[in-house]
Structure 1
Amino acid sequence: MADKIGKILAVDDNADILFALKMLLKPHVEIIKTETNPSHIPQLMEEDDYDVILLDMNFNKDAISGTEGFDWLARILEIDPAAVVLFITAYGDVEKSVKAIKAGASDFIIKPWQNEKLLATIWSAIRLRKSRLEVSSLKERQIGLSSIMDQPFADFIGVSPGMQRVFSTIQKVAATDANVLILGENGTGKELVARALHRQSKRCDEAFISVDLGALSETLFESELFGHMKGAFTDAKADRPGRFELASGGTIFLDEIGNLSLPLQAKLLTVLERREVTRVGANKPKPIDIRLICATNMGIKQMAAEGGFRQDLLYRINTVEIDLPPLRERHEDIPVLADHFIKIYSKKYYKKVNKLSGAVLRKLTNYPWPGNVREFQHVIERTLIMSESDTLSEHDFQLNVQSAPSEGMELDSYNLEEVERRIIEKVLKNNLGNVSKAAYELGLTRTSLYRRMEKYGL
């Protein structure tokens, strides 16, 4: 026999009806509670949660109109808006039962009933109750998450002047529909800025769609961003909206926009200018209403000056720029971030860790953090996992300190800027001018390397 499921409350002034229901349902449900007096309903609901309430439409007070049944239906739903109520009604009361459904009842059972049909109705009602509770739980969770997310800059923190400027700009720009370009090295939190802009905008209740343009191939670009029609290409088995359609009414975040080839930049520019997309395989365009936020870790202005990025597209996407400082320029934020992540991972891994000592903080501050806050976060997490003590020392933190490449170079000057210039020049030459490969070899991001190349005129 299948496991018993569900708690049922049956309320009817006819004891014979209640006895028949109890005999029928007892083998199938966890609990079947019967009651002849409807005035006991509030107390019964306070004492237990019922998946289904079977409620007679007519009681002694008003034997034929059904008014008392309607009154108790309203009272039940007032106590528990997610309650599932099934009216028990005579054949002649079907019209009233239909009205009751409009008033909030889930279904009705006609007397005399057919056992199989009654059981099927109750199983459906139990599933409905479960569904309502899940929806209610999700709503409560969403409200809770929203209350956390609505706190200004809940996801990223900083007390340094550079971060305070970032926060100030976000507060000024968020409520507008201005296009925003976020600049910064890998790991500085560009997507966090984009999400903060969305959460504080008038579009906060609509979709936030994030797209990593660096991960899209040339062939997938149009299908992913603009959508496609069934049969447009071999794997197009159904109509599918693109990211721009999904984001309509809300915000679209285009990360790594500096990676787009010139032909794809032209297609993107057309969409942004016309505010409409045409799915692959379709003839008719669809209007879109989006707030555009872009980000890149590349020297996009230098790319535009050299012809690697369209000037007209750059003008379109950077109504406002937000430049995120790298962590090595935010020394004031190291203790704050350390405390923040220690609290998170101490709780996650059930560890009690004391605040970091001055020696540890000096070590963390002196490290250049090429991976920025993302690397910092991972280092804190890894250190807490591996540590066996409540007190973390500087020896617990394993940092990837790399020495500058000097093999094959003779230095005739010890001026640091001149040494750096010559190293960068040599690595670029060894990599045939490939900035990405040179940056990787130097342990820098492309943005950092571009800045140094601009500084030294390389």
Structure 2
Amino acid sequence: MSGQTVRDRTGEYASSDHTILLIDDNPEVARAISLAFDCEGYGLDSASTPEEAFSMLARRRYDAILLDLNFTRGQTSGAEGFATLARIMADDPSAAVVVITAHSGIRIAVAAMQAGALDFVIKPWRNADLIARVTAAIAKRERTRAGAATTPAVPVATGSAAGTGLQRLLGDSPPMVVLRDLIRRSAPLAAGVLISGPSGAGRSLIAAMLHQGSPHADSTETVVDVRDPAGWERIERATGTLVLRHPDFLDDVAQERLASSIPARARPIGIVDDCRPLIARLRARLGTIELAAPPLDQRGDDALLLARHFARDIAARHGRAAPPFTASAEAMILSTRWPDEVRGLQQAVERAVLLDDTGVIDAAALAPRLVQAVAAVTPPAAAPLGVSLEDSERVMIEAALRHHRHNVSHAAAALGLSRQALYRRMERYGL
């Protein structure tokens, strides 16, 4: 059921232009709600976990979101749902969220409305009431956005074009939680922002999120690579958001000129590898606020979360089912220092999905890019492919042991090996 879109009997989207996202781990609830909305001509996508939901929200924008408040069996506090709601509202304060709760959870539902939800539905629901509440939430959201659009002083995160997702930073690691909060707080301001970090770590995405949360979100930002002289004439004409890429590559004279060229009416955002080469005047103009994109190897399990998102996204774009990752692939994803950071991981996953003919993605499917990268820097006298495969196996075993806190039984199960087979490999590699 996950990711299903309701269609009419001809296979086309039903007559309504509205599409709903349901976040609920109960497949029976998902089936019942999808049937209800199908009868009324709505499109409906379903996510069984918050992780899957944020992946889908990154791919398209939904007219309304139906959110269950508990995703773990036995949990009734609503804590999981509140955390998901907070993240949804932080990413898009105008989101139309309707929460789903049991009859005994009215107090929790009211608290959810205080946290940003527009309404709530009590289980068991009547279909007519469910649809009416969602329709009313959509209408209220559209009125709010229309009113905000006439008041330029109020920042509205209008995001990208209809039908596509808002720019979102995916990841649950502590550095990403802190970074998302800083972006949310910085976006509505007029102050310059300096974004540093390795190429491929999401610096351009951070700049796009700052723009979509700013008062200038309804206009297109001006993006200039300052290493290209042909782009400089656009800097002095810029209004709204002005994104300047690679000012740290300029010499001191060019940096002085750049600092003088940034118009007062523009909100500058600089993207750099390193802040240190910037002269003091330019750094002050660009970097009232400084944000750092953390490298992927400092983000823990985010690499696996991102890999799953890329697999879903690529499969959806090519009309395929997203293949799952084997335990060996997951271990490789978590233990590899990916060339070109998140962008490199995305390229490896895209290649694996497009070339998949087995229904799963294993470590070997992700390895070709890594083998090429090793070959590019290895002297001709180095040992060929066999050594790389051994190294990969060792890395995967080390990652599995570390992930399972050196519980050999659990690590062996994750790798698809018997305990004896894992012990033999551990002895071979001196682990």
Shorter-chain TM-score bucket reads 0.3 to 0.5
User: Which structure is larger by alpha-carbon Rg, 1 or 2?
Assistant: 1
Report the TM-score, using the length of structure 1 for normalisation: 0.45
Report the TM-score, using the length of structure 2 for normalisation: 0.47
